[in-house]
Amino acid sequence: MFIDTLSVRDEELRSLLDRLRDEAAGSAAYDLLAATDDNEMLARVLVEPGRPLWAREIAAFRLGCAGDRRAFEALVLLLNHRDPERCVSAAHALAELNDPRTPRAAAALATNTLRTAYALHPVRLLTTLRAPEAVPALVATLRRLLAPGEPHWRVALACVEGLGRLGDGRARPVLTAALPHPRLGAAAEEALSRLPGA
């Protein structure tokens, strides 16, 4: 395939293309979308009916990394996808896109009680963005996930780690509440040590 000889500098793009090669099943559109520098063509892929998900993902990722805000809606949908690898790629592209709507969208996904199973990457993206929405969203999500019997401990752990990285004193009460949790205690202790006045 053409992409095998394409010089791809961005390792995230290379990883995405490697992942989607089999899904594209030899489609000529795969090579075209991987190689083109035509943002107008990529943008059309996002709105044309009948385009497969892999094609939309390549187009959205490439536009997002190029700073083209036409990718925003598609990337937000991919950020909340059931496939974690799609979420990872979408989070990377959204961080590159630097759209002012991204923190609010990521916070909405992170705090959506009906989509908690898919909140891991929105939580991590919020931490990366360090936007004003990040700490309130992570605190609210973690507080809810400390309830007895709550199964989404990986999302809770991402909240704990993110709050530690953000180093905001507003996180102290919820991080303190996380200390007794068997899967969160060590990370909560580390996060608390990073807060002001620790």
What pLDDT is attached to residue 198? 67
Q: What's the confidence (pLDDT) of residue 3?
A: 44
- Chain mean pLDDT for the chain: 93
Mean pLDDT, residues 29-41 taken together = 95
Check whether 126 has a pLDDT greater than 90: yes
Closest Cα partner for 158 from 175, 147, 142?
142
Residue 130 has pLDDT above 70, yes or no: yes
Side-chain half-sphere exposure of 25, counting CA atoms within 13 A? 3
Give the mean pLDDT of 161-178: 98
Q: How many CB atoms lie within 10 A of CB 40?
A: 9
The pLDDT of residue 6: 42
Residue among 94, 47, 46 nearest 66 (CA): 94
Q: Are 55 and 63 in contact (CB under 8 A)?
A: no
> Mean pLDDT throughout 151-158?
97
Q: On the CB side of 191, how many CA atoms lie within 13 Å of its CA?
A: 31
Centre a 10 Å sphere on the Cβ of residue 101 and count the other Cβ atoms it contains. Answer: 13
Q: What pLDDT sits at residue 133?
A: 96
If pLDDT is split at 50, 70 and 90, which confidence band does 1 have? very low
| Closest C-alpha among 81, 84, 45 to residue 62 | 45
On the question of pLDDT at 8 being above 70, the answer is: no
For residue 122, what are its two tokens?
């929105």
Q: How far apart are CA 33 and CA 39, in angstroms?
A: 10
State what percent of residues in the chain have pLDDT above 70.
Answer: 95
What is the rounded CA–CA span in Å between residue 81 and residue 76? 9
Q: How far apart are the first and last CA of the chain?
A: 55
